[in-house]
Amino acid sequence: MSSIMERFTEKFRKSAELYEQAGDVIPGGGHQSRVVHPFPVFVNEAEGAVKVDADGNELIDYLMGFGALLLGHAHPTVTDAVAQRLRKGTHMGTTSTLEIRWAELVRSLIPSAEKVRFTASGTESTLLALRLARGHTGKKKLVKFREHFHGWHDYVSPQSGINSQVGIPEESMSTVCVLEPDVAEVERFLSEDTDVAAVIVEPTGGHWGQFPVQNPKFLQDLREVTARHGVVMIMDEVICGFRLSRGGAQARYGVTPDLTTMAKIVAGGLPGGAVAGREEIMDQMGTSDPNRRLAHPGTFNANPVSATAAIATLETIADQPINDQADAAAERLKQGLRDALKKMETPGHVHGVASIVHVALGVECDCPGEMCTQPHDRLAQGTAQALSQPLKLAMLNEGVDMMGGIGFMVSAVHSSEDVDRTAEAFERSLAALRGEQVI
Ligand SMILES: Cc1ncc(COP(=O)(O)O)c(C=O)c1O
Question: Tens of pLDDT along 267-295?
Answer: 999 999 999 999 999 999 999 999 999 99
Which residue intervals of the chain bear CATH 3.90.1150.10? 4-73+321-435
Which one of 152, 238, 275 would you pick to mutate in the ligand 1 pocket, going by the greatest count of ligand atoms within 8 A of its CB?
Answer: 238
Topology given in CATH for the domain delimited by 4-73+321-435: Aspartate Aminotransferase, domain 1 (3.90.1150)
Q: Is the separation of the CB atoms in 53 and 43 below 8 Å?
A: yes
What is the reported pLDDT for 33?
A: 81
369 phi and psi angles, rounded to 5 deg: 95, 20
Amino acid 216: pLDDT:
83
Residue spans in the chain of domains classed CATH 3.40.640.10: 76-319
Quote the pLDDT of residue 375: 93
Distances (CA, A) of 228 to 138, 198, 331, 357: 17, 13, 38, 34
Over residues 60-81, the pLDDT tens digits come to: 999 999 999 999 999 999 999 9
Position 424 scores a pLDDT of 98
Instruction: Specify the pLDDT at position 214.
Output: 80
Structure letter (DSSP) for residue 42: P
Give distance in angstroms: CA of 34 to centre of ligand 1.
14
CA of 235 to the centre of ligand 1 (A): 12
Instruction: Answer whether 130's CB lies under 8 Å from 155's CB.
Output: yes
Query: Could you tell me the distance, in angstroms and rounded to a whole number, from the CA of residue 118 to the centre of ligand 1?
Result: 15
pLDDT at 319 (0 to 100) = 98
Distance 364 CA to ligand 1 centre (A): 29
Q: For residues 278 and 259, is the Cβ–Cβ distance under 8 A?
A: yes
Mutate to test the pocket of ligand 1, among 264, 265, 409 (most ligand atoms within 8 A of CB): 264
Tell me which residues of the chain have a pLDDT lower than 70. Answer: 1
Instruction: Round the CA-based radius of gyration of the chain to a whole number and report it.
Output: 22
Q: What is the pLDDT of residue 83?
A: 98
Distance of alpha carbon 263 from alpha carbon 123, whole angstroms: 9
- pLDDT of 364: 93
Cβ of 37: how many Cβ atoms within 10 Å?
Answer: 10
pLDDT of residue 4: 97
In the prediction, which pLDDT does 410 show? 98
pLDDT at 34: 85
Output phi, psi for 54, to 5 deg: -65, -25
Residues composing the chain: 439
Nearest CA to ligand 1 atom 8: 122
**What fold is seen in the domain 76-319?**
Aspartate Aminotransferase; domain 2 (3.40.640)
